[in-house]
Structure 1
Amino acid sequence: MATFAKSTFSASTYATFRPSYPASLFNTVIAYHRGPKRLCLDLGCGPGNVTREMSRHFDRVVGTDPSPGMIAQARASISGTEMGKYSHVEFREGFAESTSDVGEGEVDMVVAGQAAHWFDFGRLWPEMRRLVRKEGTVAFWGYKDHVFVDYPEATRLLQEYAYGEHPDKLGSYWSQPGRSYLQDQLRVVRPPAEEWSDVQRVEYEPGTKGKGSGEGVVSMEKALTVGEVKAYMRTWSSYHGWREAHPQRTARGQGGDGDVVDQLVDEIAEGAAHFRDEGSVVNVEWGSSLVMARKR
């Protein structure tokens, strides 16, 4: 989480170019939940996308994040003319493993979108036991790398650049073990059986034979321009680390000679002319996972 908490990280860019979650995911989470919907706690809320969506279903929603920049961005997202709409939403700076300002058994549901891979589960589960009421629920979900479902070679090159250990590529700049947790479909999320029941997992592993060619239940998919794909990759924590190590290399869109993302797309375009135009549209799917559990 340290990358996103840095003052040099752009929370507004993150909010703009990160993929959004489909209505089907939220419908699944809400359908799983039983009983009152008085308070929902959104851990690692980032710019507040999940918090705002959950506010449609709960009397009160609190989003927490250790990054001051993210909390500022989240608060800005509900300011102004929409303040009345979100009067029951609150954002606080804080860590998932310590929410002392929330009372014992006070929470009906805890959610975390693209945040659980940062958690210290040895400390988190005791806190969830304290916070969540009997038969209350937790729902953690996340996504890993995107796949160009119509371009197998482009996907292979993406993986090479994303995880290559050479310092000019991105692999050595991921925060670990968090990235490995996402790669492993959040199987590290194991609610203690003596405290949690009815554990359900929903996963999807994309394929490269067209839309929906993967295994599991499709959750996150989108048609993006090549330019949007580049902008999204530049929100990765590994890219932020790469930039710190290569301050002299600037994206062409910012007047430089090109960065690692430009280099990747240039290499893809050598074999797929479609990628030469930043306005060209490509179909993208993300590997995703959702874990839900109910307090005994």
Structure 2
Amino acid sequence: MATFSKASFNAAAYLKFRPDYSPRLYSALFNYHRGQRDLAVDVGTGTCQVAKALAPLFGIVQATDPSETMVKSASTNVASNITVSVASAEQLPFPDTSADLVVSGQAAHWFELSKFYAEAYRLLKADVGTGPGQLGPYWESGRQIVDDKYPGFEDVARAAGFKDVERWEYPAKGQMIEKNFSLNDFQQYLKTWSAYKTYGDRHPDQPDPVDVFIEDMAKREKVTDREEVWEVEWPGVVIIGRK
């Protein structure tokens, strides 16, 4: 890290020539993320490549780096909702349970990892997947197997005698499941979930959780035409073998 901190380090060249992460990686990340999008923290931000990708999706992005050289270069060309500051990954200047997302783009090899994870845990809000109005606890038990991408299934296949057993995971093998949806279509799709039906049966007097989610999504993504068609992808896994 000392190299990046030197005043002579060419941060402008770093910004110009470093590759960006694929949009598909961000898509997979947000498929996993199920919390609010008020505050994201990008640790070891460098020249804010990750922070810039997060800015359209979060209310505020706090980008930190221990290198004053990096921070000075990064803070000259960022969106108005990105704040760039000098801070170490092991001591971040933000309150407990204040962040919805904590990320680091290929910088964690510089960190004291146990201290960084402790800081990330301190900063993050609790998982809202099982909170009021959420559908997490209303899935049947088998759903967790799907969410965990069928863990151990290939071992069972091998034990049964199958050979050349492989696991293909999104996005490594490309698109797994896809459909073109308008936001209105997507709203109706969510209402086909078994957890939605179970929640409604148990809480008939509560606000419709899908309608609330769609309204929030439309606001955050600034969707004005709910019939505009979007390409939607789902993560998935394929387990194959030969006899």
TM-score range, shorter chain: 0.5 to 0.7
Alignment of 1:92 onto 2:94:
no
CA distance in 2, matches of 1:89, 1:95: 18
- Local SS of the residue matching 1:20: coil
Listed as ranges, the gaps of 5+ residues in structure 1 are 79-85, 138-197, 201-214, 220-296
Report deviation, 1:199. 8.6
1:14 to partner: Cα distance: 0.6
Residue 225 of structure 2 corresponds to none
**Aligned to 2:119, which of 127, 149, 158?**
127
Instruction: Check 1:63–1:136 CA distance in 2 against 1; reply closer, same or farther (3 A cut).
Output: farther
Deviation at 1:117, TM superposition (A): 1.1
Displacement after TM superposition at 1:126 (Å): 1.7
Letter of the 1:128 counterpart: A
Q: Return closer, same or farther for 1:76/1:218 CA change in 2, 3 Å cut-off.
A: farther
User: What SS does the aligned partner of 1:135 have?
Assistant: coil
- Output the aligned Cα RMSD: 2.4
Q: Distance in 2 between matches of 1:12 and 1:199?
A: 41
Change (3 A) 1:122 1:135: same
**How far apart are 1:115 and its partner, in Å?**
0.7
Counterpart contact for 1:39–1:59, Cα < 8 Å? yes
- 2:98: which partner in 1? 106
Q: Give 1:127 shift.
A: 1.2
**2:183 maps to which residue?**
none
AA matched with 2:104: A
Residue identity opposite 2:95 in structure 1: G
Percent identity between the aligned chains? 34
* Deviation for aligned residue 1:105: 0.3
What amino acid is aligned across from residue 104 of structure 1 in structure 2?
A: D
Spell out, residue by residue over 1:179-230, the C-alpha distance to the aligned partner (whole angstroms, 9 max, x if none).
xxxxxxxxxxxxxxxxxxx899xxxxxxxxxxxxxx97559xxxxxxxxxxx
Q: Say which structure, 1 or 2, has more relative contact order (CA 8 Å, 6+ apart).
A: 1
Tell me which residue corresponds to 2:47.
47
Q: Distance in 1 between matches of 2:7 and 2:27?
A: 35
- C-alpha separation in 2, matches of 1:61 and 1:47: 14
Larger deviation: 28-37 or 128-137? 128-137
Q: Distance in 2 between matches of 1:96 and 1:199?
A: 29
- SS at 2:118 equivalent: helix
After superposition, where does 1:55-204 map in structure 2 within 5 Å? 55-78=55-78, 86-99=79-92, 101-135=93-127
Q: Within the alignment, does 1:26 sit opposite 2:26 as a pair?
A: yes
Deviations along 1:219-261, one digit per CA (max 9) or x if unpaired, are 9xxxxxxxxxxxxxxxxxxxxxxxxxxxxxxxxxxxxxxxxxx
Change (3 A) 1:75 1:57: same
SS at match of 2:90: coil
The letter for the 1-side match of 2:117 is W
Aligned to 1:14: 14
Structure 1 ranges of 4+ moved more than 4 A: 215-219
Does the aligned pair in 2 maintain the 1:43–1:110 contact within 8 Å? yes
Taking the aligned partners of 1:47 and 1:125, their CA distance within structure 2 comes to 22
Q: Which TM-score applies when normalising by structure 1?
A: 0.43
Is the partner of 1:24 in helix, strand or coil? helix
2:199 matched to which residue of 1?
Answer: none
Structure 2: segments with no counterpart, 5+ residues: 130-146, 150-167, 174-243
Shift of 1:35: 2.0
Assess if the C-alpha contact under 8 Å between 1:108 and 1:136 holds in 2: no
Q: Which has the larger radius of gyration?
A: 2
CA drift of 1:122 comes to 2.1
For the residue of structure 2 that corresponds to 1:110, the secondary structure is: strand
Which stretch has the larger CA shift, 126-135 or 45-54? 126-135
What is the CA-CA distance between 1:30 and the residue it aligns to? 1.3
Closer/same/farther in 2, CA of residues 53 and 41 from structure 1, 3 Å limit:
same
Tell me the distance in 2 between the aligned counterparts of 1:45 and 1:67.
10
